[in-house]
């Protein structure tokens, strides 16, 4: 319990319990030293505690460009806060990212990469089914079992998102490109109860790890000096990235859109990624301008030129991008 809440209860005449630490931990940024494989920090006057570091941490902090600013120690783990000075890359290109239910599409008018993320959806569905099958009479046991299942699910999902975000940042760094996301604030309001949508559909859309992908990509991009931007998502899946005309939908081809001017079928996710990169380019070239200028002009000199589309699986993402 926080100290100010305890004082507030005392003023009201209540008898609150004294504060206590649920999870003991130690955070320090003063007085510690790292000597080769040992972390030394003072515990009493002229007394120091030494902790042996593993080979991975010792190899990482051996880089002279890194500085260890603080450490956090718990009964089970030790974390080091590392500072690094990076120079921001001057972007020469823009990479737009479109997040969907079963894939993540990123690229620009030169190349589009589609990463299949249906495995993440299957993981969430399987763990949801397993958690619903826990029918113990004691609610405390049910809560404990479902909590463990939730932790395992989150770790498996984070591992796959880590591969996507890492490869995305490496690809952007090689291309000297700026990463542009859609500003999806308030998207959960679209899938609330009472909007005329089924419960299974709402559960799928609300369980999408949109923020987790953006969070991991952002801190990795800041570590490598890759700039990050956000644009308004309106119109990214409705306008043709080539001519700026309005695209038409066909119920028989739900993932494809038809452009009457170009007379071509285009994938919805590819269209969104290209439009996001175009909007980001307008913002980069003219930061004070609006996004209504996105469809003016044509970055592709030849209308018949098709962007290269690569389809990648999450398990093979790093290998595919490196090759």
Residues 135-188 have pLDDT tens digits of 888 888 888 898 899 899 889 999 999 999 999 999 999 999 999 998 888 777
Of 204, 115, 207, the closest CA to residue 166 belongs to 115
Give the separation between CA 188 and CA 207, rounded to whole angstroms. 10
Of 295, 220, 233, the closest CA to residue 100 belongs to 233
- State residue 286's pLDDT score: 57
Mean pLDDT score, 93-120: 88
- State residue 312's pLDDT score: 65
- State residue 303's pLDDT score: 47
Q: In what order do the strands lie in the sheet with 33-35?
A: 33-35, 38-44, 47-52
Q: pLDDT averaged over the chain?
A: 81
Give Cα separations from 198 to 70, 71, 102 (angstroms). Answer: 48, 47, 18
Q: Which of these ranges, 1-15, 59-73, 93-107, has the smallest mean pLDDT? A: 1-15
Residues 62-91: tens digit of each pLDDT: 888 888 999 998 888 888 998 888 888 888
pLDDT of residue 43 exceeding 80, the answer is yes
- List CB contacts of 291: < 8 A, sequence separation 6 or more: 231, 232, 234, 279, 282, 283
pLDDT of residue 113 exceeding 50, the answer is yes
Q: At what angle do helices 139-175 and 210-224 cross, to 10 degrees?
A: 40
Contact between residue 62 and residue 21 where contact means Cβ atoms under 8 Å apart = no
Write out the E strands in 108-226: 111-116, 177-182
- State residue 323's pLDDT score: 31
Mean pLDDT score, 112-131: 87
Residue 306 — pLDDT band, cuts 50, 70, 90?
low
- State residue 164's pLDDT score: 92
pLDDT of residue 285 exceeding 70, the answer is no
Give Cα separations from 86 to 65, 222, 223, 284, 286 (angstroms). Answer: 9, 8, 7, 21, 25
């Amino acid at each position: 319990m926080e100290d100010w809440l305890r004082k507030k209860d005392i003023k009201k005449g209540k008898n609150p319990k004294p504060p206590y630490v649920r999870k003991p931990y130690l955070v320090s940024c003063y007085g510690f030293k790292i000597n080769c494989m040992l972390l030394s920090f003072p515990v009493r006057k002229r007394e120091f505690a030494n902790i042996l570091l593993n080979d991975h941490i010792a190899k990482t902090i051996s880089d002279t460009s890194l500085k260890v600013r603080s450490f956090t120690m718990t009964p089970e783990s030790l974390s080091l806060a590392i500072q690094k000075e990076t120079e921001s890359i001057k972007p020469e290109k823009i990479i737009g990212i479109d997040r969907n239910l079963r894939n993540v599409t990123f690229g620009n008018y030169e190349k589009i990469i589609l990463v299949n993320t249906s495995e993440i959806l299957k993981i969430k569905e399987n763990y949801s089914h397993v958690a619903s099958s826990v029918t113990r009479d004691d609610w405390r046991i049910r809560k404990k079992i479902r909590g463990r299942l939730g932790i395992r699910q989150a770790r498996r999902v984070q591992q796959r998102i880590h591969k996507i975000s890492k490869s995305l940042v490496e690809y952007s760094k090689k291309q000297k490109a700026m990463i542009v996301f859609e500003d999806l604030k308030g998207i959960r309001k679209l899938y609330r109860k009472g909007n005329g949508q089924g419960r299974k559909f709402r559960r799928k859309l609300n369980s999408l790890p949109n923020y987790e992908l953006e969070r991991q990509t952002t801190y990795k991009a800041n570590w490598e000096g890759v700039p990050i931007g956000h644009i308004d998502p309106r119109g990214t899946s409705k306008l043709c990235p080539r001519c700026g005309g309005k695209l038409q939908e066909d119920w028989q081809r739900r993932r494809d859109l038809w452009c009457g001017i170009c007379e071509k079928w285009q994938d919805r996710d590819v269209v969104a990624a290209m439009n996001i990169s175009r909007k980001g380019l307008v913002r980069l070239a003219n930061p004070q301008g609006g996004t209504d200028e996105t469809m003016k002009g044509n970055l592709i000199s030849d209308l018949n030129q098709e962007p290269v589309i690569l389809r990648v699986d999450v398990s093979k993402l790093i290998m595919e991008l490196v090759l």
